[in-house]
Amino acid sequence: MYKTPDGKEIFVLDGHTHFWDGSPENQANVHGKQFIECFYAYHTNLSPQEELWEKSRFEKYSEDDIYRDLFVDGPNDMAVIQTTVLKDFYKNGFGCLERSTEMAKRHPERFIVNGSFDPRDGEKALEYIHWMKENFDIQGVKMYTAEWNGDSKGWALNDPSAYKCFELCEKLGIKNIHVHKGPTIIPLSKDAFNVDDVDYAATDFQNLNWIVEHCGLPRLDDFCWIAVQETNVYAGLAVALPFIHARPRYFAEVMAELLFWVGEDKILFGSDYAIWTPKWLVEKFWNFQIPDDIAEERGVQLTDEIKEKILGLNAARLYGIDVEAKKRQLAGAPVQIAAE
């Protein structure tokens, strides 16, 4: 739990984290190598110098590492692990449901593990959604529309095959659909991450929550114009947040736009661990203020109450978490010091 400088305890639910294996041993081809190296470039270019990791640890970190970085050294109370398989790039998958679930079993009170599927797999995708719900009782999924699948270099949320999958998700109560709509990663196509298809899917599936990770960057305007009219579209701050260090005025512009268009109740904190660790992100975010000229032009403000919503309360609402009850539970199961 994050304690503010004046002693207030803030509930932090990190909505976008990973438990990946991008090691050379797991890379299936040059594309797997390119992908993790692109992640590492984001890490080195946008992190404070003192927060940089050695490349070998970045490629594959341990169960103890993630627990320590999120909950011991880090301020998180809970974290959502997102699944990103990238089966064409990694022999055993990049961030897999089974591996993440096995890790999370050590501390089930702190982790929510989301699944994933590829609608291009047709009937097998539908079968797999059933299997994930029956075996892991998933509450959400992560969609990666630029992922390769054989000869296909991407898909759209409003493809007929995707709609069949979302219909099944709605039926099974898998309500939180996290969608990567942000910067591209080598060798994926930037165009396959555009936000246009969010408009269709959100309109046609009103009972699902569409959490647009990375808030559409670099397509922020397009995303905001969609999110303002779709009550079930949310903005995930992963990737946007590190600019609080590297380009603070740019980050202020992004936050002001999101507050103006999307609103304080539909913005979610995400560290994008392990590209970045939550400790410095949360600390800088809590102490951050939008410059007066930007705030006045948009007519917005970033109060402590709004920050508290973004850091945990908004995501807790989507995942049905009683925050006060969760605080009591976690107080009875304090963090254990991770093994070195």
Mean pLDDT for the chain overall: 96
Q: Is residue 339 part of a domain?
A: no
Three-class DSSP labels, 320-336: CCCHHHHHHHHHCCCCC
State which residues form the domain around 218.
2-331
Q: Is residue 337 part of a domain?
A: no
Summarised one tens digit per residue, pLDDT across range 165-220 is 999 999 999 999 999 999 999 999 989 999 999 999 999 999 999 999 999 999 99
Summarised one tens digit per residue, pLDDT across range 131-143 is 999 999 999 999 9
Cβ neighbours, 10 Å, residue 37: 15
**What is the Cα–Cα distance from 270 to 312, expressed in whole angstroms?**
10
Residue 268 has pLDDT above 80, yes or no: yes
Cβ neighbours, 10 Å, residue 124: 12
Residue 340 has pLDDT above 80, yes or no: no
Q: Is residue 146 part of a domain?
A: yes
Q: How many domains does the chain have?
A: 1
Q: In the block, which residue shows the tokens 């040059």? A: 30
Distances (CA, A) of 232 to 98, 101, 247, 259, 264: 29, 27, 30, 16, 14
Residue 273 has pLDDT above 50, yes or no: yes
Residue 111: which of 119, 102, 120 has the closest Cα?
Answer: 102
Q: Is residue 304 part of a domain?
A: yes
Summarised one tens digit per residue, pLDDT across range 16-56 is 999 999 999 999 999 999 999 999 999 999 999 999 999 99
Summarised one tens digit per residue, pLDDT across range 56-91 is 999 999 999 999 999 999 999 999 999 999 999 999
Nearest 5°: the CA angle 263, 155, 267 is 15
Give backbone dihedrals phi and psi of 8, rounded to 5 degrees, phi first: -80, 140
SS3 160: helix
Distances (CA, A) of 73 to 149, 284, 336: 38, 15, 11
List the beta bridge partners of residue 27: 90
Are 181 and 143 in contact by the 8 Å Cβ rule? The answer is no
Residue 185: which of 17, 20, 33, 39 has the closest Cα?
Answer: 39
Q: Is residue 177 part of a domain?
A: yes
Q: In the block, which residue shows the tokens 């990049």? A: 94
Distances (CA, A) of 118 to 95, 185, 284, 292: 14, 18, 36, 45
**What is the Cα–Cα distance from 82 to 115, expressed in whole angstroms?**
7
What average pLDDT score do residues 91-101 get?
Answer: 97
- Read off the pLDDT band of 335 (50, 70, 90): confident
Which CATH number does the domain housing residue 290 bear? Answer: 3.20.20.140
Are 314 and 267 in contact by the 8 Å Cβ rule? The answer is yes
Max distance between CA atoms of the chain, in angstroms, equals 56
Q: Enter the tokens of residue 8.
A: 């207030």
Q: Is residue 246 part of a domain?
A: yes
Residue 338 has pLDDT above 90, yes or no: no
What average pLDDT score do residues 324-340 get?
Answer: 77
Q: Which of 54-58, 83-87, 100-104, 329-333 has the lowest mean pLDDT?
A: 329-333
**What is the Cα–Cα distance from 28 to 26, expressed in whole angstroms?**
6
Q: Is residue 340 part of a domain?
A: no
- The amino acid occupying position 147 is E
Q: Among residues of the chain, what percentage have pLDDT more than 90?
A: 95
Q: Enter the tokens of residue 26.
A: 């797991």
Q: What is the pLDDT of residue 332?
A: 82
Q: Among residues of the chain, what percentage have pLDDT more than 70?
A: 98
